[in-house]
Amino acid sequence: MARSKSGAARAQPLALELLMSDHRKVEDLFEQFEQEKDSDEGTRREIAQQICAELTIHAQVEEELFYPWLREQLEDDDMEMVEEAQVEHNTAKDLIAQIEGATDIDEVYNAKVKVLSEYIKHHVQEEENEIFPEVRDQQDELDELGQEITARKGELMEEMGLAEEYSEEDEEGEEEGGGRRGRSSSRESTQRSR
Ligand SMILES: [Fe+2]
Ligand SMILES: [Fe+2]
């Protein structure tokens, strides 16, 4: 019906498209880290912190919006997939906290990022191959949920002071540091266009 209106241009309902684009973005960042794993500490820390920030926001919108919606939609049989996903988030967050709190950017640091990447790869495969197909046909609701996800992501990025940093626009005058949680991103940012 209305489904084929914008048809070939978009294969996924909005919520799934957004979550999948986050997944691809984080995969790219993990790949960047892998390529830079012998680079200087600043570069490694910067990429790893981007990974952690992206994953933190992504996990939060899933937990606040997507997983609760899934719990309403799925049959009891499928519910364990959501519970497992939640447990995986919790474990990933432990690792993220270790990476964010690391003082030494050494081999152990690289190992933690590597393990996180493998862990997330597994988690993403389960979401995309097992969970998403169960709900993909609920286009309208997922489009609506997608709007909420976009709005919430925007709020969270702003709270974390990420929006400007990532778009590489000038940060001067926005140096307030509130909500940056000691991320010291502006100090370490090497990508100022000034
Ligand atoms: Fe997830
Ligand atoms: Fe996800």
* pLDDT tens, position by position, 78-130: 999 999 999 999 999 999 999 999 999 999 999 999 999 999 999 999 999 99
Q: How far is CA 70 from CA 19, 24, 76, 124, 135, in A?
A: 14, 22, 11, 16, 8
Ligand lying closest to the C-alpha of residue 64: 1
pLDDT in tens, 123-177: 999 999 999 999 999 999 999 999 999 999 999 999 988 775 444 444 444 444 4
Cα torsion through 34, 37, 43, 48, rounded to 10? 50
Q: How far is the CA of 59 from the centre of ligand 2 (A)?
A: 7
CA of 157 to the centre of ligand 1 (A): 18
Shortest-distance ligand to the CA of residue 26 = 2
Q: What is the CA(124)–ligand 2 centre distance, in A?
A: 6
What's the CA-to-centroid distance between 89 and ligand 2, angstroms?
A: 9
Please tell me the predicted confidence (pLDDT) of residue 106: 96
Q: In whole angstroms, what is the distance from residue 100 CA to residue 116 CA?
A: 12
What is the pLDDT at residue 10? 58
Ligand nearest to the CA of 67: 1
Where exactly are the structural domains of the chain?
12-162
Class of domain 12-162 (CATH, top level): mainly alpha
Q: What is the rounded CA–CA span in Å between residue 194 and residue 185?
A: 15
Span from the CA of 161 to the centroid of ligand 2 (angstroms): 22
C-beta atoms surrounding 16 within 10 Å: 25
Q: Could you list which residues have their CB under 5 Å from ion ligand 1? A: 62
pTM score: 0.80
